[in-house]
Amino acid sequence: MRVIPVNNYQEMSDLAAELFIQEIKNDPEVVLGLATGGTPEATYRSLIQKSQDLDLSRIHTFNLDEYEGLSPSHPNSYHRYMAERLFEPLQLKASQTHLPRGDAADLENEAERYEQLIQEKGGVDVQLLGIGENGHIGFNEPGTSFTSRTHIVDLNPSTREANARYFEKKENVPNRAITMGIASIMDSRRIILLASGERKKQAMAKLLNEEKTQDFPASILQDHPYVTIIADEPALSAVSFEKGEPAAEYMADQREWELR
């Protein structure tokens, strides 16, 4: 894993946007995997600002997840989140953007449909991730099988609590969601994980300093061949980067850590 320390949330976001822009320039038909929540909001704002001269007519996007029971027009749906924060400002066509339907009559069938659609588009080239305080990626909660594909998940109380700020009342947060599985995420050719703030420092310490375990879903990223982590100083404040250790080498000229 390649770890790029930055000073703050905005610097993290600007760098992530620049990486996405470079991917689009390299491949105008790139398939981007996108995340929601507070972490990527400034990344999307920066991407909008920096993409004025880009040809976006051939890219495709796949989002990680959606809440059960919420229609695309629901103000708290991830369909609406993405439309307002990225798709509409970039003037992407509906045919270019893909999210699972949380209001599908049969969620199991919807999970299979979404997984199949990802495969039909050739898979995700670059997947953007955040990390939950309990280590969830997408909505894959602790205990999720590393071999899971797009599936239905019961949300942990801590996850619902963290997301309650987006709803009028905590009890309005859905109990379940549909999410790309861990194996689906790991099939991505490249992964960019963002982490900002002290609330994420213990999660980052577990990811970078502890062994892989299904009790901490993000730890599977240790097995991916191409992960770039961009994290600010508070998020990395509990991580041990001891010079001379076999697992970590600091490249001072690039201001990066390479973890092996």
Phi, psi of 28 (to 5 degrees): -60, -10
27 is catalytic: no
Q: Which one of 66, 68, 141, 232 is the catalytic residue?
A: 141
How many Å apart are CA 103 and CA 60, to the nearest integer? 22
How many Å apart are CA 139 and CA 177, to the nearest integer? 7
Burial of residue 62 (number of CB atoms within 10 Å: 0-12, 13-18, 19+): buried
DSSP 155: P
18 is catalytic: no
Q: Which one of 14, 110, 125, 134 is the catalytic residue?
A: 134
134 is catalytic: yes
151 is catalytic: no
Count the Cβ atoms, other than its own, within 10 Å of residue 38. Answer: 14
DSSP 253: T
If phi > 0 it is left, if psi is from -120 to 50 it is alpha, else beta; for residue 20 that is alpha
Phi, psi of 227 (to 5 degrees): -115, 130
Structure tokens at 23: 């991917």
How many Å apart are CA 42 and CA 55, to the nearest integer? 21
Whole-angstrom CA distances from 132 to 14, 24, 39, 76 are 21, 27, 10, 19
Contact present, 64 and 138 (Cβ < 8 Å): yes
Q: Which one of 110, 136, 140, 163 is the catalytic residue?
A: 136
Task: Point out the residues that are catalytic.
Answer: 65, 134, 136, 141
